[in-house]
Structure 1
Amino acid sequence: MGIIAWIIIGVVAGWLAEKIMGRSHGLIANLIVGILGAVIGGWLAGFTGFPVIINSFVTSIVIATIGAVILLYLVGLMKRR
């Protein structure tokens, strides 16, 4: 995938994670959360043996969103302390 696809996936995944977790961030924060979520989600998918279709846009968004939700949850835990 090209850089434009990664940006789109990052923004969509970050936005979905923001809505799922009930948070409110800006576009840049959604992009960062989405891209970091894609890294976390991709690592977890590979670690657990989840069959990943590499060139699937929808699968990429789902995995990135799951990773972004995990990231927001962990950040929320750290902020509470």
Structure 2
Amino acid sequence: MGWLAAIIVGGIAGWLAEQFMKSNMGLLANILLGIVGAILFNFIFGTLLGLYAAGASFSFGYLIVGFIGACILIWLARMVRR
């Protein structure tokens, strides 16, 4: 996935995770959460289950993986803060 597409998909995935998890973050945090979440979740799924979200520059698979990964990262951040 290209850098621009990763930023766009990461931003959308991070924003969706922010809305779903009811947390308040800015645009940069949304983009970072979406991209890092996608990388993390893709690594976990690829290593453990052999599943990868491959596709074109804008892939629905990457959006789902980024959303789930960002939700996990938000959850982990909340657990560390407590």
Please report the TM-score for the alignment, with normalisation by the length of structure 1.
0.89
Q: Which amino acid aligns with 1:79?
A: R
8 Å contact from structure 1 (residues 41, 65) kept in 2: no
Aligned-pair CA distance for 1:32: 0.9
Per-residue CA shift, 1:29-68, capped at 9, x if unaligned?
1011111101111112213325334115100100111111
Point out 4+ residue stretches in structure 1 off by more than 2 angstroms.
Answer: 50-53
Please list, as runs of the form range in 1=range in 2, the aligned pairs for 1:16-55 lying within 5 A after superposition.
Answer: 16-49=16-49, 51-55=51-55
Q: Which of 52, 63, 66 is the equivalent residue of 1:64? A: 66
- Corresponding letter in the other structure for 1:44: I
Distance 1:33 1:68 in 2: 5
Q: Which runs of 5+ in 1 are unaligned?
A: none
Distance 1:49 1:78, change over 3 A: same
Count of aligned pairs: 80
TM-score normalized by structure 2? 0.88
**Identical-residue share of aligned pairs (%):** 36
Matched to 1:74, the amino acid is L
* TM-align CA RMSD: 1.3
Q: Give, as a single letter, the amino acid of the residue that structure 1 aligns with 2:54.
A: I
Distance 1:58 1:26 in 2: 23
Q: Which residue of 1 aligns with 2:75?
A: 73
Q: What SS class does the counterpart of residue 23 from structure 1 fall into?
A: coil
Distance 1:39 1:53 in 2: 10
